[in-house]
Chain A
Amino acid sequence: MLQAAVQSLHWTYTLFWKFSPQQRVLKWSDGFYNGEIKVRRTVEAMDSSSSSEEEEASLQRTNQLRDLYYDLLLSDGSGQGDIVANEPPATPRPWAALSPEDLSESEWYYLMCVSFSFPPGVGLPGKAYAKEQHVWLEGANEADTKIFSRAILAKTVVCIPLLDGVVELGTTDMVQENINFINHVKSFFIGDHHTLPPKHALSENSASNPILQEPQLLLLDSETATTVPRVFTQSNLMELVMAEDSPAAAGSPDDGSYLLDSGLGLLPLEPALSVVELLHGECDNSEAETSQLCMEQEGHTHYSKTVSTILEGSSGHGQPDSLPSVRRLLVDSFQSAFARWSNGANNCHEVPVVENPQRLLKNILFRVPYLHGKQKRHNNTNNSSAQTLEQLDLISSHVAAERRRREKLNEKFMTLRSLVPYVTKMDKASILGDTIEYVKQLHEKVKKLEEEDEGRRSGKKRKERAVEVSVIEGEVLLEVECVEREGLLLDLMKTLEEVGIEVTGVKSSFKGDGDERVVVVELRGKVKKIAKRKNKISIVEVKKVLHNTINPHHHPLP
């Protein structure tokens, strides 16, 4: 029945939720999977033409899926078996029949559904049942999880209360609500007995993103995407987009959401990164946001628990190590080329002694860029206007030299300023001007001083040259040389007489010419006692007296 229904509609799957009176919940009762089957690691869409072969294949698939589920459950031994099944498995099939990695995403989804149960009013099937009306959910993959907690794959989900339960149909396409569809489905089941009000029940339209080519798995939290979701890509089977707080600094891309192209089925990855581990991992995180996230949504938890059970069960089968989750990202399975770090073991590993550390890196950064200049030089030998690296080197050295010269000049200017008094302004022109003035002044001064000095000396020279006096046993010898003066000789003789020297002989001659006529006089005499004086005269006195005679206006020599 279900099979016929879903196949005729070309939808992906159908489930029948049976109401169980004892527990008062809707439980999975039957289902049919009509979606993509992953065969040998590529995904083949089911051809919807109903050749018997394909029908069979689908049916077989469905059974396989169900069996797998039970296998996994049973192996786990936790006895999740609240499931009411129409056909309990006789014997567990060997797991090799269908292993989890062979499933496509839609199949996984289908498998998951088996575990769910809904009390009336809760969840889509619950609501449908309670209201006794069909519920049509479009854009189920983005729907609020409270409404549709299994919003994974199916973009459109319809729940129709029928018989003693709810029929659910889902498809990976977006399908508008259509009452005919509903009726069509019903017709398969009930004939014309039941009449349900043919009015539209809830049709929940959530804003839908532009069509994505591949069915993608999205699990949004109830606070929709203001934050940038993060994608972990370990598995092609399930990709979880967890909304996380993006760091304030991060700029989000313009369209605001990361939807990673899953690149379905091309890589032979095992169902590693599970929704669960991530969720649990995030829940363990100290980050408040994500743990809150976990708590909030029961549908989440249920789903995640199921997945974890299954996957744990699957690994219990002895399949090769499931690929580590991000958290256990780099744990070395035997496949990793990296070995675990341990302090002791590493120390005995010999390290090559490197004389030139970071040799290649330094070459790339320090040497290679300059090689380019060299090449250009070779190419441009004829081109005089070329600025090669060599010329640049020259220029830069010139620049340095120029700078040094300027600095020297400035220094000297400062020194100059400090030597020159009365410098008012600090600029070089004023400094120089003031200095020039100052130097001129100094010249004048020097000139004047020199003139005076010379005048003085030459004045002295005019008046007197030499006076020599010697007295030996009363005999006096006088030699005088001085500028000619009228009556000089007479004065000298008179003076001598006054001091008691009797002049006995005179020799005189002239020298020089013009203004410089100098008379040389040699006087001999005898020293005599005179009445004026008590003692005989001394040489010093004689000199003194003579000086006074010769230079009547000048200060006597000391």
Chain B
Amino acid sequence: MDNTSQESQLQSENSSTYESTYPLYAMAISSSSTSSNLQRIAVGSFIEEYTNRVDILSFNAETLTLRPNPSLSFDHPYPPTKLMFHPSTPSSLLRHSAVDLLATSGDYLRLWEVRESSVEALSLFNNSKTSEFCAPLTSFDWNDIDPKRIGTSSIDTTCTIWDIEKGVVETQLIAHDKEVYDIAWGEARVFSSVSADGSVRIFDLRDKEHSTIIYESPQPDTPLLRLAWNKQDLRYMATILMDSNKVVILDIRSPTMPVAELERHRGSVSAIAWAPQSSRHICSAGDDAQALIWELPTVAGPNGIDPMSVYSAGCEINQLQWSATQPDWIAIAFANKMQLLRV
């Protein structure tokens, strides 16, 4: 069976696995490493109940061990839809690397301080006037050029930009006609979002009245579920559609026409991530239990683009993270497990 051969290919030196007691969805890799080479990784549970948890694991790249820290685990109401650590640019918020800032999204945007042996809740960002109702968040992105900015996307069709240092809303835009599913920063003041209305739009905070549609799904109103902006080459973005095995690569300079459609997955794609150190590589994972790494050529062949390499997990892969602080490792989440794969 190919499955087993793939499993046996997983020697201990090119991967590291953590098995949890509950299914995992959200995942984040820290941008700062603590002393002695440990990297923090946060994983969020997916339990369809009120009590969910976020665990912080420590990854040691030398010994390839992935261990949970029971003291660094905290509760979260309902599954967190996204986790993200403070980006790597040093700022006034990060004094030294033992303390990490983790942001979570769910009903609200929350900030947590991850210390050596405890996690403290720092703040909760709530924009609604009445204290009761909120618009839950589907996703958010932390601006790595200007890390006091976090942009959130919500089911109430708006995107909210927070100034987390002051704890206030910088602006709130009605971004789409339907629920917004993902948001990604490009520059310090430019972000883009995807929605159930099937469009990818770019917004510039200097000109809040206008947005640019750079892509619309070919079947109208097919929701676009995820978005990733290539930080190494800001011209390119990638997005995935609902129930589709395609990864759509867009060039923001030529709207509406995708630059490439990567169609080698044999199941719907659930997660995408650009390579943090290369402008031409992207990784995608989906229901076919495969994680594919693609190299985007300058000129595509007639049969479409083939991936460069492939990894097969045991079941559908739900999450994918490729961190700039660990560019040799790709993190995936499937079922109850989180795996770090050496690239």
B10 neighbours in A (Cβ, 8 Å): 337
B187–A250 touching, CB < 8 Å: yes
B181 neighbours in A (Cβ, 8 Å): 365
Stretch at the interface among B65-73, B109-117, B312-320: B312-320
The interface centre, meaning the residue of B134, B270, B307 with most chain A CB atoms within 10 A of its CB, is B270
Q: For chain B residues 268-325, which have a beta carbon within 8 Å of chain A?
A: 268-271, 275, 277-278, 281, 286-293, 295, 306-312, 315-316, 318
Known: A329-B278, A352-B287. A372 touches B77 (CB 8 A): yes
B309–A368 touching, CB < 8 Å: no
B50–A326 touching, CB < 8 Å: no
Known: A267-B61, A364-B138. A339 touches B9 (CB 8 A): yes
Known: A266-B37, A330-B281, A332-B309. A337 touches B14 (CB 8 A): yes
Q: For chain A residues 78-127, which have a beta carbon within 8 Å of chain B?
A: none
Q: Is B79 an interface residue (CB 8 A)?
A: yes
B145: contacting residue among A251, A326, A329, A373, CB under 8 A: A251
A358–B268 touching, CB < 8 Å: yes
B77 neighbours in A (Cβ, 8 Å): 372, 375
Q: For chain A residues 352-389, which have a beta carbon within 8 Å of chain B?
A: 352, 354, 357-365, 367-373, 375-376, 380, 383, 386-389
Size category, A interface: 35 or more
Stretch at the interface among A4-12, A65-73, A309-317, A343-351: A343-351
B226 neighbours in A (Cβ, 8 Å): 361
CA–CA, A329 and B234, complex, Å: 20
A318 neighbours in B (Cβ, 8 Å): none
A337 neighbours in B (Cβ, 8 Å): 9-10, 14-15, 311, 341-343
A340–B308 touching, CB < 8 Å: yes
A341–B235 touching, CB < 8 Å: no
The minimal Cβ–Cβ distance linking A227 to chain B, given in whole angstroms, is 14
Known: A338-B309, A341-B306, A351-B267. A360 touches B318 (CB 8 A): yes
A357–B268 touching, CB < 8 Å: yes
What is the predominant secondary structure among interface residues of chain B facing chain A? loop
B287–A354 touching, CB < 8 Å: yes
Known: A330-B281, A349-B2. A233 touches B13 (CB 8 A): no
Q: For chain A residues 213-239, which have a beta carbon within 8 Å of chain B?
A: 230, 232-234
The minimal Cβ–Cβ distance linking B295 to chain A, given in whole angstroms, is 7
A336–B309 touching, CB < 8 Å: yes
Closest to B10 in A: A337
CA–CA, A243 and B157, complex, Å: 41
B270–A336 touching, CB < 8 Å: no
CA–CA, A351 and B286, complex, Å: 11
Closest to A233 in B: B277
Closest to B289 in A: A352
B277 neighbours in A (Cβ, 8 Å): 232-234, 326, 329
Q: Is B48 an interface residue (CB 8 A)?
A: yes
Q: Is A247 an interface residue (CB 8 A)?
A: yes
Q: Which residue numbers of A lie inside 8 Å of B, CB to CB? A: 230, 232-234, 247, 249-251, 253, 266-268, 326, 329-330, 332, 335-341, 343, 346, 348-352, 354, 357-365, 367-373, 375-376, 380, 383, 386-389, 392
Which 7 residue pairs are nearest across A and B when measured between Cβ atoms?
A: A369-B136, A357-B268, A337-B341, A338-B309, A251-B187, A372-B107, A337-B14
- 19 contacts across the A-B interface (CB closer than 8 A): A247-B235, A249-B252, A326-B278, A335-B14, A340-B310, A343-B306, A346-B310, A351-B267, A351-B288, A352-B267, A360-B270, A361-B270, A365-B81, A369-B81, A372-B134, A375-B78, A376-B133, A380-B132, A388-B132
Known: A336-B14, A365-B81, A369-B107. 10 other contacts (CB 8 A): A234-B277, A249-B234, A329-B277, A339-B311, A351-B289, A357-B268, A357-B287, A369-B137, A371-B78, A372-B106
